[in-house]
Structure 1
Amino acid sequence: MIDLENQNFDPTITPKASSGNEGVPGLLVDGVFWYWPQSITEADIKERSVKKKIDKWLRRLVLAFSLFTLLSFILGIVLYFDLQILVLETWLTPNPFFSFLWVSVLSFCFLFYLNIVAKNSGHKMPKTNLAILGEPTYIPSVDAIERRRDIADLLRADAWEVLDEAFDIAKQSGHKYVTIIHLFLGALAVPSTQLMLTRLDLTFDAIKNPLRRKMSAMPLGETEFSTEVKEILAKALKNSLLNERSGISVVEIFIEAYGSSEFLKELLYSVDINEQEIKNVVDWIRIHEKLIARYNTFKKAAGFKPTGNMNRAYTAQQTKFLDSVSADLTREAVRGGLPMLIDRKTEMAQLLRAIEGGGQSVVLVGEAGVGKNTIISGLAELMVEEKVPKLLQDKRLIELSIPHIVSAEGGRGAHERLLYALQEVQMSGNIILVIDSIDQMVSVGGEALDLSSVLAGELEKGYTFVIATTSPREYTASIEGTMLGKQLQRINVLEPDKNSAILVLESKVGIIENKHRVVFTYDAVEALVDLTDRYVHEAFLPEKAILVAKEVALDVSKRGPEWAKVTRADVETIITQKTNIPISKVTAEEGAGLLQLEERIHERMIGQEDAVKAVSSALRRARTELRSNDRPIANFLFLGSTGVGKTELAKTTAEVYFGNEESMLRFDMSEYQDQASIERLIGGVDQAGLLTEAVRKNPFSLLLLDELEKAHPDILNLFLQVMDDGRLTDGTGRTVDFTNIILIATSNAGTQYIQDEVEKGTDTETIKEHLMEVELRGIYRPEFLNRFDGVMVFKPLSEPDVIAITYLMIDKVRAKLEAKGIKFTATDEAIYGLAKKGYDPKFGARPLRRVIQEQVDDAIANFLLTGQVGRRDTLVMDASGVISVEKAEEL
């Protein structure tokens, strides 16, 4: 029990007024008023506790006695093996060992009887039309109502534990009423709630102080149940009915207590737990219970459904060949071996309507991993439970394997084998056929074998019903408009929304947890869906979240103890490793680095303060999640003449944010000057686009568009869409995500104007304003320019800038030689000399790179090739630009 004694409650806090609702709260179900008429006493609690202990020990004693007598019988058989067990006279002859056997059998029967009694001790939940089920209501008195029932009859054992615990807490605290707070505390104290708290990563210590203060305001007196708690029980009954539960459990009481108290909502919100998280964790607990219950349900249903190929009326025909090239999904459902279907009510309703209509066969069209096959599994389970239209009752759901049909003899005879299988389907009369990836039937095998016409012909006769699956791309390319396509009714299966994907993942993690001996928190499950949806673009929900969950579980199991918690941070670690994008919370050390981005960038480039500042600010916004998630991270237009640092800033940005310069995708827009170039960028029906494919494979990159002004206007419209929506549709119809791209376009437009105005001393803002209003208007449309987060004017480099750049370039040469164990020094005069030779106001630093290659890199390469310089030696460049070797002392 949660200990709330001696908590130093503040007696000065004024108690809050009680609820204004008058009368008896309850729920009206089909004319029967369900309410809570009784009060709990300490004697009631002790009585239930004693009964529970007696029942527990009685079961143990009966089980032990049963095992003892059974073992005694076995021991007798072993010791007196000459007994003729298979002879009737042996069993009829009095023998003490046989007495042990009969006593053991009777004891097991008694134990079985106790379990049946316990299972059926409570009343069954009332049946009602859920669509017309109303809200709990208050009535002045129940005496005038003839049809009334006690909610206590519907409470499960763990619900009684909650009420007893809540009453005990209120009683020990001297409180007059058992309130929602006591009910909440009682739920926390019940062992079956501990898994819920683990999922929420919630401890009592995190919330105990506000609870102490809240309880100190409660009135004192003889303890009884408050009206609000009785209303909670009525709400819990409604919740149980809506969720088709077998009784009222701790789960319903917990969720209704939480939902009815603004204090509890704010309390849990203060520890980062919101209402949706509570609801999803409750659903998680229910899913776990359903997974256990449905196994028993299918086993029970299996007793009424034929386990072989024959229907109940014994009118079906044997299907020996079909059985060799297929799998029986209804049989798998009976064994509980199919995945649980979560949500998908719309798609299932469409599927059942199509089947019940008796018309066309059906094709489920959706991307890989969205749950097409799980919908079919859900149908198989409904068929086992006979919760399907009459047309599907007493039927088998058979999945035909196309690879098995075409694999024999290199595909020869595949038409005949398929036709024979379909004939068996028709003769059997109790089969619904499933064909996964039906597009495989079009041009399969090494000789472009086409089986679709065979299937289409049989479907046209109307004797065979097929449920098929395929992807949108394959449907368009192989099915739509064909003979086969005309026989199939399309049902789209879209990627589930995030909340549905969370529920699906919750149904899967149990197996992952047991395999790797870890426990997933809800934060981790939510992060798996959120982060894979945002950062993993080569797959679809829920499959991609499930795959990453397995990776995370494996990683945690290797690093931590057995049954370690899997948290959001663990998920972020794996996603970061897969994408090379920092997505965890910003640490103090990283925060300091982000604040000093300008300094880090200036370690690689000189000048251009405005551009460096704008880029740094964009990166800080992106890292702290303050940017819009439906656009690229940032869109920049760099204006200026060649060699002033536009490309260098782009490279530096790629290294700082994405980890290395290789994360930069570079496109020279001078190669895309005609309209036909669009297909090269986004692809066509038969080829992938250079741009879309590069971004699809590298979704976390810097996209550099060099000399943007040379691109065709229609291509500029493509990038207008990218900057606006963060996505682009390629030639095959796939949507490519650009929301994790930093887009930088460079342009030489207005270069002469920039140079002239800088020489005049005009400030940058004035230059930029004139460029936007005059110089660029003839090249770019205003709406295009307005999509850029920043238009940066790069000033021509001055002589001091070029000298500083020369020092940076020489430092790079020094670093390369140090890796070989060779030192390199250059005098200031040598640096100045190189800078003077490499300075050109028109071409910026471009000539400087060539000068250093010719006068420094070439000379050093000659020394290395001729063996004149080795480890520990020093290369010295003097004022005249000549490089000499200073040999190191001998060891």
Structure 2
Amino acid sequence: LQDKRLVSLSIAALVAGAAGSGEIEERLQIILNEIYRAGNIALFIKDIHNLIGLKTAEGELDISEILADALKRRIFWLISTSNSKDYHRLIESAPLGEALAKIEIGEPDKNATIQILEANVAGIEGTNQVYFSYQALEKAYELSNRYLYEKYLPSKAINLLEEAAVYVKNKRGKDSILTGEDIAALVSEKTNIPLTKITEAESEKLLNLEERIHQRIIDQEEAVEMVATALRRARAELRNLKRPIVNLLFLGPTGVGKTELAKTVAEVYFGDEKNMLRFDMSEYQNKADTARLIGSPDGSFEGLLTSAVLRSPFSLLLLDEIEKAHPDILNLFLQVMDDGRLTDATGRTVDFTNIILIGTSNAGTEFIQEEMEKGTGIEEIQKILVREKLKSYFRPEFLNRFDGIIVFKPLGEEELKQIARLLLNKVAKQLTEKGINLEVTDEAVEELARDGFDPIFGARPLNRLIQERVNDTLAKNLLTGKLTRKDTVILKKGGEIEIKNKI
């Protein structure tokens, strides 16, 4: 290529106004002849797949063969660009694929990216009338590389600087200086992950996580403490950044709050319990179900797991009844917990490093209940479970990938009373939105807790009981018009409801 003159071919200009495929091919042939006569021209075609994939009303153009034939006869030199997906789809198996030497270009490293940002930042500053500190450029590289997946470096870092310039200009006005904290604040807003420096108010919240979690979770002190500790460690970034934020296994009987605690973690860490991807592993008991999670090799359907994480990379991944999954599927999650990534069936790598992974299991439930009745401590039960009981469900290397294995205690009648109040508070909140006040007597709470108590099924029967005795009765009164805005409802023993109408 030495002493060659580089000329770029505009695909848009090539096809503009062409009457059909024959005219486009004729134009291309004329261009190639001109290049051959000039003798010292190297042709550059950006996104060559757009040219190869051109179609007209008459059908697909034969451009690949025209270019391939010219290259083989040394008529001209060609430099072109494409992406992996379109190269494999349109070029690799076409005649042109044999004539081209493929050079794979990865993303630039930190130093190269920052140099590119420095070359582009003046234009962004001039357009938006703001200024960037060097720390902001470093932060743009670091956070875009770690948290933004839609594009590649350096494009996504440049886009982040452009967004940050507008963000700060609207917030603080012209001539503002953007710092690393401004970049972190913007990425936090985009991803719902706390990335800015820990403020005094947030520090207080983190230190009192147990109290916040206990607003929704009754008892389970040891479980709540372990979860809070793991979240504090993650927020302080004292974790392995090449693995998920935290990997936890919740063990215990049904209805004791395992799923509710997972929802609470999603709300506390990601801002909303809706940021939770839930998979019932009882649906993945066969080896063939692996394809449902990572997709089919021919690309005919996407994997439920990989596509969900690609769409929501900052989420809590809940694997319900994980002990029921096929061993090959557990091997997939072994890789996720160990490497923080998973390759789908089409070869696309999915990042799990910003996921909180929680598995729930009823494995060893009978043993837990028996030992609790004997008065054995939670820590001792946990040791025996890991050392002996869980080996019939999980391989040792799988269990070792969890940052914490948390044992949930069976609920007693006293805990059921507190849960009853919690559930009734939710009903009261729904009524408040309708302008109705709900009052509950202590006798009603005690009766609900007593009638809804089941040592095997935990709080689930209580939930159903409140729906039958409270929600159904309230619904009938609302629909008949007996209960209206500004009324007060008193829930009494026996499910009796007294309505105090407004005057």
TM-score range, shorter chain: over 0.9
Q: Is 1:874 aligned to residue 484 of structure 2?
A: no
Aligned residue for 2:389? 775
Q: Is 1:578 aligned to residue 167 of structure 2?
A: no
Report the alpha carbon displacement of residue 444 of structure 1 after superposing the two structures with TM.
3.1
Aligned residue for 1:444? 54
Query: Which of 636, 644, 656 matches 2:268?
Result: 656
Aligned residue for 2:369? 755
Instruction: Specify whether residues 487 and 407 from structure 1 end up closer, same or farther in structure 2 by C-alpha distance, changes over 3 A only.
Output: farther
Q: Is 1:885 aligned to residue 495 of structure 2?
A: no
Query: Which of 88, 102, 119 matches 1:507?
Result: 119
CA distance in 1, matches of 2:16, 2:316: 46
1:458 aligned counterpart, secondary structure: helix
Equivalenced residue count is: 499
> 1:195-219 CA distances to partner (integer Å, 9 max, x unpaired)?
xxxxxxxxxxxxxxxxxxxxxxxxx
Q: Is 1:482 aligned to residue 94 of structure 2?
A: yes
Aligned residue for 1:817? 431
The one-letter code of the counterpart of 1:670 is S
Query: Which of 779, 784, 796 matches 2:410?
Result: 796
CA RMSD of aligned residues (A): 1.8
Aligned residue for 2:287? 675
Aligned residue for 1:398? 8
Aligned residue for 1:805? 419
Instruction: Specify whether residues 888 and 577 from structure 1 end up closer, same or farther in structure 2 by C-alpha distance, changes over 3 A only.
Output: same
| TM-score, structure 2 normalization | 0.95
> 1:645-683 CA distances to partner (integer Å, 9 max, x unpaired)?
110000000001100111000011111112221121112
Within 5 A, what are the aligned runs for 1:541-620? 541-620=153-232
Report the alpha carbon displacement of residue 406 of structure 1 after superposing the two structures with TM.
7.7
CA distance in 2, matches of 1:858, 1:883: 11
Q: Is 1:698 aligned to residue 312 of structure 2?
A: yes
Aligned residue for 1:855? 469
Aligned residue for 1:865? 479
Report the alpha carbon displacement of residue 412 of structure 1 after superposing the two structures with TM.
6.3
CA contact (8 A) 1:822 1:874 kept: yes
Aligned residue for 1:533? 145
| TM-score, structure 1 normalization | 0.54
CA distance in 2, matches of 1:779, 1:862: 47
CA distance in 2, matches of 1:410, 1:733: 37
CA contact (8 A) 2:210 2:225 kept: yes
CA contact (8 A) 1:495 1:540 kept: yes
Aligned residue for 2:255? 643
Within 5 A, what are the aligned runs for 1:33-182? none
CA distance in 2, matches of 1:817, 1:419: 76
> 1:513-554 CA distances to partner (integer Å, 9 max, x unpaired)?
111111111111111111111111111111111111111111
CA distance in 1, matches of 2:252, 2:306: 28
Query: Which of 715, 724, 735 matches 2:349?
Result: 735
Instruction: Specify whether residues 516 and 691 from structure 1 end up closer, same or farther in structure 2 by C-alpha distance, changes over 3 A only.
Output: same
Within 5 A, what are the aligned runs for 1:323-402? 355=1, 389-390=2-3, 392=4, 395-401=5-11
Q: Is 1:455 aligned to residue 67 of structure 2?
A: yes
Report the alpha carbon displacement of residue 403 of structure 1 after superposing the two structures with TM.
7.8
Within 5 A, what are the aligned runs for 1:300-339? none
The one-letter code of the counterpart of 1:816 is Q
Aligned residue for 2:399? 785
Report the alpha carbon displacement of residue 778 of structure 1 after superposing the two structures with TM.
1.8
The one-letter code of the counterpart of 1:688 is E
1:777 aligned counterpart, secondary structure: helix
> 1:123-159 CA distances to partner (integer Å, 9 max, x unpaired)?
xxxxxxxxxxxxxxxxxxxxxxxxxxxxxxxxxxxxx
CA distance in 2, matches of 1:438, 1:794: 58
Report the alpha carbon displacement of residue 451 of structure 1 after superposing the two structures with TM.
2.9
Any stretches of 5+ residues in structure 2 without a counterpart? none
CA distance in 2, matches of 1:846, 1:665: 22
User: Larger relative CO (CA 8 A, sep 6+): 1 or 2?
Assistant: 2
Q: Is 1:517 aligned to residue 158 of structure 2?
A: no
CA distance in 2, matches of 1:671, 1:501: 44
Instruction: Specify whether residues 452 and 597 from structure 1 end up closer, same or farther in structure 2 by C-alpha distance, changes over 3 A only.
Output: same
Instruction: Specify whether residues 433 and 709 from structure 1 end up closer, same or farther in structure 2 by C-alpha distance, changes over 3 A only.
Output: same
Report the alpha carbon displacement of residue 439 of structure 1 after superposing the two structures with TM.
2.2
CA distance in 2, matches of 1:607, 1:767: 17
CA distance in 1, matches of 2:315, 2:455: 32
2:259 aligned counterpart, secondary structure: helix
Aligned residue for 1:420? 30
Report the alpha carbon displacement of residue 811 of structure 1 after superposing the two structures with TM.
0.5
CA distance in 2, matches of 1:803, 1:501: 58
Any stretches of 5+ residues in structure 1 without a counterpart? 1-354, 356-388
CA contact (8 A) 1:757 1:767 kept: yes
CA distance in 2, matches of 1:676, 1:460: 46
CA distance in 1, matches of 2:398, 2:6: 59
CA contact (8 A) 2:436 2:484 kept: yes
Report the alpha carbon displacement of residue 410 of structure 1 after superposing the two structures with TM.
6.8
Query: Which of 710, 716, 719 matches 2:330?
Result: 716
CA distance in 2, matches of 1:407, 1:816: 63
Instruction: Specify whether residues 676 and 421 from structure 1 end up closer, same or farther in structure 2 by C-alpha distance, changes over 3 A only.
Output: farther
The one-letter code of the counterpart of 2:414 is P
Deviates more, 1:803-812 or 1:748-757: 748-757
The one-letter code of the counterpart of 2:315 is S
Report the alpha carbon displacement of residue 603 of structure 1 after superposing the two structures with TM.
0.3
CA contact (8 A) 2:14 2:24 kept: no
Query: Which of 247, 272, 277 matches 1:665?
Result: 277
> 1:82-141 CA distances to partner (integer Å, 9 max, x unpaired)?
xxxxxxxxxxxxxxxxxxxxxxxxxxxxxxxxxxxxxxxxxxxxxxxxxxxxxxxxxxxx
Aligned residue for 1:368? none
1:539 aligned counterpart, secondary structure: coil
Aligned residue for 2:82? 470
2:457 aligned counterpart, secondary structure: coil
The one-letter code of the counterpart of 1:785 is L
Instruction: Specify whether residues 404 and 608 from structure 1 end up closer, same or farther in structure 2 by C-alpha distance, changes over 3 A only.
Output: farther
CA distance in 1, matches of 2:313, 2:106: 22
1:666 aligned counterpart, secondary structure: strand
CA distance in 1, matches of 2:13, 2:340: 40
Aligned residue for 2:235? 623
Provide the identity percentage.
51
CA contact (8 A) 1:398 1:431 kept: no
> 1:265-290 CA distances to partner (integer Å, 9 max, x unpaired)?
xxxxxxxxxxxxxxxxxxxxxxxxxx
1:490 aligned counterpart, secondary structure: coil
2:240 aligned counterpart, secondary structure: coil
CA contact (8 A) 2:437 2:486 kept: yes
CA contact (8 A) 1:473 1:733 kept: no
Q: Is 1:429 aligned to residue 39 of structure 2?
A: yes
Larger radius of gyration: 1
1:606 aligned counterpart, secondary structure: coil
1:514 aligned counterpart, secondary structure: helix
CA distance in 1, matches of 2:32, 2:261: 65
> 1:761-795 CA distances to partner (integer Å, 9 max, x unpaired)?
22212221221122111221111100000011111
CA contact (8 A) 1:798 1:841 kept: yes
CA contact (8 A) 1:665 1:703 kept: yes
Aligned residue for 1:766? 380
CA contact (8 A) 1:406 1:445 kept: no
